[in-house]
Structure 1
Amino acid sequence: MSMKHSVYRGGYPARNMQPDPESDIQEYSDFEDLDQGSEEETDEEEGEEDEDCEEEEDLEEEEDPALQLPYPGFIPISLKYLDQTSRPRNWCLRMITNPWFERISMLVILLNCVTLGMYQPCVDDKCITNRCKILQMFDDFIFVFFALEMTIKMIAMGCYGKGTYLADSWNRLDFFIVLAGALEYSMFMDNMNFTAIRTIRVLRPLRAINRIPSMRILVMLLLDTLPMLGNVLLLCFFVFFIFGIIGVQLWEGILRQRCFLKPLPNVTYPKNLPTYFQYKDQDKDYICSSPNDNGMHYCTDLPHYKLGDTVCNSTAKPSSNNIPTATDCVNWNQYYTECKSQGQNPFQGTISFDNIGLAWVAIFVVISLEGWVDIMYYVQDAHSFWDWIYFVLLIVIGSFFMINLCLVVIATFHNIIF
């Protein structure tokens, strides 16, 4: 046979080896039709799957009774008898879900803050003036509003159980405040005065925390960081303990040191002289240094005694009344020569290093940077000039390091959560 004729291979005619453009185009169109058909089939399958998922979700919604409630976020039955469709509870649910309900509550809380700040119990303790009576009327209105708000929420949300009113800690605080107010009014009706109950009024502004989400987040953040701050507080305790022991060992009783009168033979001191030296024109105490220490105040450094505008320079004469004249008087301050630890501690006896407890109080005052220089000057007067090293180290470690360490812990925990 000639090569121009078609050749049969395996019972089928073999194609011509030359390329045929028309056949290639036909084959390409056939492949496009197949691709379009497969895409349409996949779209139909996906549509059927979506319809099946929607049908399953509809079945789940029909099976879940909580999703069929008018208010799915609340329990089905409140106070054992009231469902969400009953008239009193449905009305209460509509109220608490209305945004104006919380806005009005916030305005009443702000009004309560203003009225609490305008009270003047020292000026009008018996509440006789018109100002006090008007403020009392506002306080009565605010208490009634808070009581009604609590009642409405209890009816709408229920009292006990998961998701109810008392399940929230902030709602329990509101309940406690309203209960304390009711106790206050009941005692007022019985003519009883219980001031401790009235102080619970100051907790009313805390109700605003539950209404402001950002503030509530910050408060919860602070409460959540307390376990992490435990290590910081432990470090603070060690710093207080170490510096307290050093202060007690070095300065126990020195802030009581005063210059006392030395008894002299045949010399009678005036009756108006104090037992130890005190400034007449200053509230500051003159704390002396004993001979064994290197303080900055000694009993020999006392100023001259003054009688009016006259500066006294004379010495006392034995067996004499030593009556002052217009130009001459006795310098009685020169006889305050005995430095003894028998006086009172400075600042009405609150600041000293006599024991570890009082030392901690002094350390806390120094760390707060409030009046710490006066404490340092007193210690330097009685002990040594170089005691400033103790106070500088205490401020650097306590005030600059430990307080900022607490802020670092809170900021780190905030970044972890948010």
Structure 2
Amino acid sequence: MERPNIPPDSTERQILMIFNYIFTVVFGAEMFIKVIAQGLLHGKGAYFSSGWNVMDGSLVIISFIDVLMSVLATTSPRIFGILRVFRLLRALRPLRVINRAPGLKLVVQTLLSSLQPIGNIVLICCTFFIIFGILGVQLFKGTFFYCDGPDISEVVTRNDCLTRNKENLWLNRKYNFDDLGQALMSLFVLSSKDGWVNIMYTGLDAVGVDLQPVENYSQWRLLYFISFLLLVGFFVLNMFVGVVVENFHRCREEQEKEEKARRAAKRAKKLEKKRKKYEKIREERVKSLIAAGIDPSSVDIDGEIRRRRRRKRELMRRKLASLSIKSQGNIQSLQPDVMTVFSKINRSWEMREPPYYSQYSKARLFIHNIVTSKYFDLAIAAVIGLNVVTMAMEFYKMPKEQSHSTVPLNRHQRFWLLLSGVAIADQSSFYRPIPCSLLRHTTHTLIFSLITSIELLFDFYHYGPKPVSSFLIPHTLIAALSTFVNSLFGFSHCSQTCILLHHLTYTLMSPLHTSALASLTLAPNLHPPLSHHTPLCPSSSYPYSSSSACLSPPA
């Protein structure tokens, strides 16, 4: 009912203030009664031992401070600024309903318990964004520029655009991949599925730096955008929903257990009341017998109760006896097998194999001790992070001095990462069965070492004394694979993140199989693809024109 145009001296304002005072007094009285009944801080059921009571008490204290400040504001205008802050905090009063509504309480508990796993998912999501961002910078930096003007029919380069007509402009797209920040912003738009088609087709049309885009110049770049949408836009972002749903079910089970315990306590309380009632009736019966002059000991008041109890004890004794006989027979029949198992365990304990690293040489054992230490993991994680940072430093129009200065640092980091990969792979023994986790870890390490070796070789040929202009494997692909494997190598040291990646890998299989089946089914029925730029300008070779009949560039 609060509005900014309520006059201060109006009846409506006075009524609202009176209701505010009444609610504050009622809430304060509730808090005061609970503190007296349960205690303030100490004790099993103290008031402030519950987080919900802490929230309620804080809101009540804020309400009293608000009332106090409103009284002081009439005498001191300087306190009016502080009063507005407490009036804003007064808006949190509806949160008191959460403690009274089990459904809302369950939702809040779910959100609070989901914070830790959501942090791991945020780490995975940021890593995938950085990986695709670095790859996007490598692929598209400086290529999203285009010529806009009245005469762009024969424009091929930037110089043609600026020299052919003075009204021509060489503009850049709003969402581009010139540096890592712009790439992350563009990927965020892609993941939100809002305007992702324009960004994707702009990437397909990009030709090169200072070159006019050409329609569908490289359709293979669809793999970059579609893979990002499938991997990040659908699966990684939906993991947030999965974590919340999982924690919701877990919190609901805990709430059901608490409800069962509460019901059991109520039943026990009812049984205690019945017992006290029975004792009271028995005492009254004894008093009535004494008043009638009859000896209570001569009357069997509890005869029926004793007979019932005796009958129940006899039945229970028979059941226990039958169960003990069956268990003894089973133990006697299983005794030879148990002795056989214990004898096998003893023999295996006596004949157990020594550790796989016991026959290592001194040099290899020294490397093994270094690799298995926690400081080695921390050092490698730091080198991996520094490596990703140096790869993310590239941007459009990067000075040659800075570009060449990062090469030795990047090469030095990759050399140490290569040594660490070889050292960790050295932990596996070829003379004993390798566990599945160690096999996976060793496989990832060998792949990482192979990719690092290829990139070191490429850097040597590209930045060495005799640079080579062409190479069999593109540098962008090597950089992307190296970043991806570096991230997996770093995630292998974090158990929670590794578990989430394991679940994500298994989750990807079913949609991939379904997509493959759908593509095989629909592929024969597809028509030739239509152009995504409609209508085209009849007087230009590229549809980006300022004419009203042509496709205008996005704002």
TM-score range, shorter chain: 0.3 to 0.5
For CA contacts below 8 A with separation 6 or more, give which structure has more relative contact order: 2
More helix as a share of residues? 2
Larger radius of gyration: 1
TM (norm. structure 1) is 0.44
TM (norm. structure 2) is 0.34
More strand as a share of residues? 1
